[in-house]
Amino acid sequence: MEFSGEFELEDVPPEKAWVVLSDPIAVRNSLKGCQYITPMDDDFGFDDYEPEEDVETLPEADPEDVAARAFVESQEYAALMQVGVGSVKPRFETSVTINERDHDDFIMTATGSGTASGSSFSMESGMQIYSLEDSEGSRIEWWTEADISGRIAQLGSRVINPVANKIVGNFFSDIEQQMSDVEETDSGITDRIRGML
């Protein structure tokens, strides 16, 4: 299955959008059903891991913390996602590897796979942020190619597509809000973070 789309943020310049989309906590907060996204090492266990509660994001968060936790190229991340599709609500234990992070052209790509009871998926995703020609804002393009197996896939695209679209739609409207918040309150912080990345 392939999903793709784009959206525009008229008042958020690409640099700021990049900083927000580089923050696993900000991404987690916008992704409905996502319980955490955290770097994964060899000892990581989905059963044992307990995410920190109430972690601040920009603009309240300490810029150094945000810079420190930002996505890193070649790093593998663990994510726990619970998605309700039709009559099933699998809890996906997912690992995602950031394949590419291009700070100049604002490109990020990732591959990942997740398993849940009776379902599994693998995906290749990417995004790129462009400047808008007639304003300071950004245009963000994203794409995902997913192979889905098991119970969820059996429900067919008729059921999956609306759910996927809803998650993606929620994600971008929420992340847009976060970016706007950042934009409204401070203009120096994101530049500082970019410098630290």
Residue ranges that bind other proteins, judged by CB under 8 A: 47, 86-87, 115-120, 122, 147-151, 153-156
Identity of the residue, 149 or 187, whose beta carbon is nearer to other proteins in the bound complex: 149
CB of 75 to other proteins, least distance (A): 22
Identity of the residue, 12 or 152, whose beta carbon is nearer to other proteins in the bound complex: 152
CB of 44 to other proteins, least distance (A): 13
Identity of the residue, 11 or 76, whose beta carbon is nearer to other proteins in the bound complex: 76
CB of 116 to other proteins, least distance (A): 8
Beta bridge partners of 141: 6, 128
Here the tokens at position 104 are: 């100049």
Identity of the residue, 132 or 155, whose beta carbon is nearer to other proteins in the bound complex: 155
Beta bridge partners of 129: 140
Residue 29 CB neighbours (<10 A) = 17
CB of 118 to other proteins, least distance (A): 6
CB of 154 to other proteins, least distance (A): 5
Give dist(CA 131, CA 119) in Å, integer.
Answer: 39
Give dist(CA 180, CA 95) in Å, integer.
Answer: 29
Residues sharing a CB contact under 8 Å with residue 3, sequence separation 6 or more, in sequence order: 143, 144, 146, 164, 165, 168
Identity of the residue, 117 or 185, whose beta carbon is nearer to other proteins in the bound complex: 117
**Cis, bond preceding 59 (omega within 30 deg of 0):** yes
Return the closest-CA partner of residue 175 out of 26, 4, 56.
Answer: 26
Here the tokens at position 125 are: 């995703």
Identity of the residue, 64 or 147, whose beta carbon is nearer to other proteins in the bound complex: 147
CB of 117 to other proteins, least distance (A): 4
Give dist(CA 172, CA 140) in Å, integer.
Answer: 10
